[in-house]
Amino acid sequence: MRKSNLVLDRTEGTEEEAADAPAPGRAPARDGIDDRVQGWWDQLTHAKARDLYCYGMTVDELLPDGRVVVAGKPMLMFASYSYLGLIGHPKIDGAATEAISRYGTGTHGVRLLAGTLPVHRELERAIARFKGTEDALTFSSGYATNLAAITALLTRRDVVICDSLDHASIVDGAVLSRVTFWRFQHNDLGGLERRLQRAGDRGKLVVTDAVFSMDGDVADLPGIVDLCRRHGARLMVDEAHSLGVLGKTGRGVEEHFGMAAGIDIKMGTLSKTIPSAGGYLAGSAKLINMYRHHSRPYIFSAAITPAQAAAATAALQVIEEEPHRVAKVQHNAARLVSGLKAMGLNTLRSETPIVPMICGSQERAYAAARHCHRRGLFVLPVTHPAVPEGLSRLRLTTSALHGDEDIDEALGILESAARAVGLS
């Protein structure tokens, strides 16, 4: 077993020398590119030297009780997106193994040419059924899905209006489309309405995360749907953190609010609750047909592998067959939020398994994370620019694998961390 510090891997010293050496055969350039590369190197070296670097920790083993083994030590995992604890589920692993034995490990192609297998169409039918749409389409990642969803639909005449906390892939899709791109303040429906009015009769697409990935709060879907209807705008919702998490049967944000319709483009990933990789769009048959033939991330990037597709299909079945998992993660989220609140800590408006514990400064967030790591709790700090300055936090996530005793153990460690960094 390699010995390494949990938060600081000091085994990379040899790369430092490599970075200093000039590339062979290249004259020194004054274009600033080397300076930028060096700048990143210096920043990282500085962070590591001050023990402020704790990303990319290697998880050596996943234990069945939801703990993980890092550097030889079991840790309570409170930083995973495996909300329903489906990684390693025998039915899902079995489906992936069977797909490999039947089709092998790759597809050697994009879907439109030779890359479509029965497992892809089965998955798309399963997604459409699960989300209550006519059809669905899968992409190689959730990130690529958001690029596709916006770039293929809009032209320069159109306007895309996003919540300020929407995921980076939505922002990138809007930028890549070269459309007019406006953002409204997080969950500020007045701000959304003013922008819809200003857009007038141009084509309008409103895009929101269902559950916001840094704050853990839920978009006001009824309010947003109402505004979109009144102003003739299309609505796209990113369900990366709500699929399997919101609603009695885990079908997502519409089920959470008891709404049957209102979302034109339902986007999600196969990499969070669903233990696979890839992303999907679900919607009307005509819309999906357009994406199938007109979106560059679909046309120019290879199909997801047979094992990924089969695993995702099986995972949707498991969510339907084992609804107790959905109830459990919702119970755990409530227990974690109320426990932190009872200690007087700020969890913003989280009501999901993503629970921010606000620490304030970046230094406090890192110190709190290190305190937790030393006590066997795997959590990660999130700081500026991912979140606003002064709102650095520990970003906690709970899963259906946690028992009440795990939540309480984590709360105990978090309480001591809060005290150690002067939060309470």
The whole-angstrom separation of Cα 421 and Cα 271 is 34
Nearest distance, CB of residue 166 and ligand PLP, angstroms: 7
**Residue with Cβ nearer ligand PLP (111 or 241):** 241
DSSP 3-state of 335: helix
Nearest distance, CB of residue 17 and ligand PLP, angstroms: 34
Nearest distance, CB of residue 40 and ligand PLP, angstroms: 23
**Residue with Cβ nearer ligand PLP (52 or 240):** 240
| Helix, strand, coil shares, percent, the chain, to 5 | 45, 15, 40
DSSP single-letter state for residue 79: S
**Residue with Cβ nearer ligand PLP (86 or 417):** 86
**Residue with Cβ nearer ligand PLP (143 or 257):** 143
* Cβ contacts of 154 within 8 Å, gap of 6 or more: 160, 177, 179, 203, 205
DSSP 3-state of 396: strand
**Residue with Cβ nearer ligand PLP (141 or 301):** 141
Q: Which residue is nearest to ligand PLP (CB)?
A: 142
Nearest distance, CB of residue 268 and ligand PLP, angstroms: 8
Nearest distance, CB of residue 200 and ligand PLP, angstroms: 29
CB 378, CB 70: distance < 8 Å: yes
The whole-angstrom separation of Cα 207 and Cα 186 is 12
CB 371, CB 417: distance < 8 Å: yes
Radius of gyration over every alpha carbon of the chain, rounded to an integer in angstroms = 23
**Residue with Cβ nearer ligand PLP (239 or 264):** 239
Nearest distance, CB of residue 297 and ligand PLP, angstroms: 11
DSSP 3-state of 161: strand
**Residue with Cβ nearer ligand PLP (277 or 343):** 277
Nearest distance, CB of residue 58 and ligand PLP, angstroms: 19
Site residues (vs ligand PLP, CB under 6 A): 141-143, 146, 167, 169, 209, 213, 238, 240-241, 269, 271, 279
CB 75, CB 65: distance < 8 Å: no
DSSP 3-state of 186: coil
Element (H, E) at 142: helix 142-151
Pairing status of strand 265-269 against strand 279-283 = antiparallel
Instruction: Extract the tokens encoding 304.
Output: 């997801």
Nearest distance, CB of residue 155 and ligand PLP, angstroms: 23
**Residue with Cβ nearer ligand PLP (283 or 339):** 283
**Residue with Cβ nearer ligand PLP (279 or 339):** 279
Please, is 362 exposed, middle or buried when counting C-beta atoms within 10 Å of its C-beta (0-12, 13-18, 19+)? middle
Nearest distance, CB of residue 269 and ligand PLP, angstroms: 4
The whole-angstrom separation of Cα 394 and Cα 78 is 10
Nearest distance, CB of residue 329 and ligand PLP, angstroms: 16
- Give the start-end residues of each E strand in 308-363: 354-360
| Helix runs in 207-323, H state only | 221-230, 253-257, 285-294, 296-299, 306-321
**Residue with Cβ nearer ligand PLP (158 or 209):** 209
Backbone angles phi and psi of 330, in degrees to 5: -70, -40
**Residue with Cβ nearer ligand PLP (271 or 392):** 271
Nearest distance, CB of residue 340 and ligand PLP, angstroms: 22
The whole-angstrom separation of Cα 29 and Cα 118 is 52
